Each structure stands twice: as structure tokens, then as C-alpha cells.
Amino acid sequence: MSILRGFLDRVLLICAVVAGGLVPGFIAQYRQRLGGRLDQARLDLEPWQKLADQFHHGSLEQLIQYHLNSSDPKFQAEGAVIRSLTESVHQLQLAVDALHQNLFQQVSYLALHGDAQLAHATLSDWVPTFALSTEGVLFALVFALGLWLLFHALWQGFAFGGRRVFGRRPVVRGLRRSHL
């Protein structure tokens, strides 16, 4: 049993270091896609901003209200579209800003707030890269250590949970073998 545990232990540790080292590259590619979405949203909003500059002293909110307050349903629909574009630019900018922090904050942001559709698109075109930066190597080691400790905790809980595992009897101190 000890040989199997030792083998699994080493394989897991190596795989975890490699997986942890690939995370920064994935985040960089995700961030690039996100930046592309932000650039496109800004381009889509630009003509509306020009109208706001020309007729509403640069205020997109006034342009939106002008459209929403119109009796013409087409103008009202345009107001909703402009508001949606403005909100998209704002949300995308917040996400881009969040992904310009340290690697550990980026990972936690993606885990809690990441766009699943964008992550899937990034993964489908992902080119695996191993980060050799100090932060990337540190993340890989911390990630591997965490998985390795989890493996050992689960192994110990499974192997010594007070019941027979793989034909072994639990260790009970103070009792002779004849009492078991």
C-alpha cells in the first residue's frame, strides 16, 4: 500500500505543479479576450458618445434620458440600447481592472466572478503556456502544495478511518491482537 501511495503522491505533485503553472497563461489569454470585448463595446458606444458631445454637453446619461422620454418607440428602444452599451462598457472595465491585480487576486476573481462563456471560449482556443515568472512559479508551488496536502488528508482519512481498508486492520493501542 505504501508503494501505491508513494507513486500516487509523486504523480499528483508533478501534475499539480504543471497545472498550477498553466493557470497564469490561461488568465492572460482570458484577459486578452476580455480586453477585446471591452474595445468592441467602446467602439459600439463611440457614435452615441459623439451625439452626446454634440447635443448634450458630453453627457451620455442626458442622451439616454432624451431617448427614453421620447414618445417615439424607436427612440425609446435606442435609449435602452445606449444604456445597455454603457453598462456593458462599465462592467467590462471593472472586470479588466480586477484582472490587473496580483495572480492570487486574479484567480479568486475568476473563480467568483468569471464569465463562463468567455472562459469556455478561451479554453477552446487556449494555447498552454507555463509561467516562469516569480509569481507564476510561486502560484504553481502553492497550488501543488495545497493539492498534495489535500491528497494526504484524504488518504489518511480513507486509510485510517476506523475500518478495514485494503484488508488491513485498524491500529488500536492497548488491546492485544486476540481481542480484535
Contact 86, 24 (CB under 8 A): no
Taking Cα atoms as reference points, which of 17, 40, 23, 6 lies closest to residue 119? 23
Q: Is residue 160 part of a domain?
A: no
C-alpha dihedral sign at 15, 17, 23, 26: negative
pLDDT in tens, 128-138: 988 788 888 99
Measured CA to CA, the distance from residue 138 to residue 132 in angstroms comes to: 9
pLDDT band at 155 (very low <50, low <70, confident <90, very high): confident
Q: What is the pTM of this model?
A: 0.74
Tell me, what DSSP letter sits at residue 171?
P
Q: Answer yes or no: is 134 within a domain.
A: yes
Chain segment 105-117, per-residue pLDDT in tens: 999 999 999 999 9
Task: Look at 1-15, 49-63, 77-91, 116-130 and tell me which has the smallest mean pLDDT.
Answer: 1-15
Q: How far is it, in rounded angstroms, from Cα 60 to Cα 85?
A: 11
Which residue range forms the structural domain that includes residue 17?
A: 2-154
Closest of 151, 150, 156 to residue 170, by C-alpha = 156
Whether 79 is in a domain gets the answer yes
Q: How confident is the model at residue 151 (pLDDT cuts 50, 70, 90)?
A: confident
Sorting pLDDT into bands at 50, 70 and 90, what band is 152? Answer: confident
Q: Residue 169 domain-assigned?
A: no
**Is residue 37 in a domain?**
yes
**How many domains in the chain?**
1
Which of 129 and 95 is assigned the larger pLDDT? 95
| Angle at CA of residue 118, ends 129 and 78, nearest 5° | 145
The grid cell for 17 is 505543479
Residue 162 falls within a domain, yes or no?
A: no
